[in-house]
Amino acid sequence: MKKDAFWELLNLIFCKLYDEKRRFMASTESYRRKFWVGVKELNTPEGQKAVATRIKNLFEELKANGLYSDVFDGSEILKSSDRGLAFVASELSKYSFLDATVDVKGTAYETIVSNTLKQEAGQFFTPRNIIKCMVEMLDPDVDTRILDPACGSGGFLVMALDHVRKKIAKRCFPEDDDLHLAERNNTPQVNELVREYAETKIFGFDFDIDLKKASRMNMVMSGDGHANIFNINSLEYPNGSKPDVPKVGEKVKWSIMKSKDKNYSF
């Protein structure tokens, strides 16, 4: 049941993140947390059932949100018992995922994914310090198009996106010092520019359908740039039998048309 437990945990993490993001979504209703566990709820069957109902309803709301239609197909359900769900939710509710740094979230996420999906298949992640070094050498900005042809769970793409996020925040708030800029990283203005960049300029390919989904979830946690993660075999492209092969060309054309290099003779 290891793989089932893995996806269950990822879905709950996603629920927690979505609940935090709801605070910044345009809505006529005032924001109230839905991903929480009361002290008395955790230890009674009635309380555990209330927690499970609240979070399962949140998960259905999340799946119905058009932003995440590329991540969920709509058939997913939370299968944990009320007691199990309440326990895991109580542990996750202690943390703020939006305020956590990309390094912290990335290390935790990739440890979970690696132990479940990759090592069993003889696949291993590039160490995060190597990824960080590569991104700093590349030094991407808002005009840089990036492709990871074997993206795994998206670690390189997430690190590149975070690098560009910091540049966007600096451009939006040029008077702020580094300490105050860190607090601006999740403002609506910065988030929208990061989302536009990610959906236009960042691409990831992987031949493993599970890693495609894991990568998309990782990208959403880092800035909603999940639209250009494709299930293809990079060594076969533009041939191959993977389902996303026909989708890549149109997305690349769209990316070029939205870029400064749109008049370049490719």
Q: What would the pLDDT profile of 223-258 be if each residue is shown by its tens digit?
A: 666 679 999 999 999 999 998 999 999 999 999 998
Domain assignment present for residue 264? The answer is no
**Is there a single domain that holds both residue 246 and residue 120?**
yes
Measured CA to CA, the distance from residue 84 to residue 87 in angstroms comes to: 5
Structure tokens at 144: 């840089």
Q: What is the DSSP letter of 144?
A: -
Measured CA to CA, the distance from residue 22 to residue 194 in angstroms comes to: 17
**Is there a single domain that holds both residue 77 and residue 183?**
no
Domain assignment present for residue 16? The answer is yes
Q: What percent of the chain has pLDDT over 90?
A: 34
Domain stop point among 92, 115, 130:
92
Range of the domain at 88: 2-92
Domain assignment present for residue 66? The answer is yes
Domain assignment present for residue 10? The answer is yes
**Is there a single domain that holds both residue 238 and residue 156?**
yes
| Packed helices 128-138 and 155-172: angle between N→C axes, nearest 10 degrees | 50
**Is there a single domain that holds both residue 60 and residue 111?**
no
**Is there a single domain that holds both residue 131 and residue 79?**
no
How many domains does the chain contain in total? Answer: 2
**Is there a single domain that holds both residue 129 and residue 252?**
yes
**Is there a single domain that holds both residue 213 and residue 139?**
yes
**Is there a single domain that holds both residue 78 and residue 124?**
no
pTM of the model: 0.76
**Is there a single domain that holds both residue 253 and residue 150?**
yes
**Is there a single domain that holds both residue 63 and residue 191?**
no
What's residue 58's pLDDT?
A: 92
Neighbours of 133 (CB within 10 A): 12
Query: pLDDT digit string (tens) for 87-108?
Result: 999 999 988 887 776 667 767 7
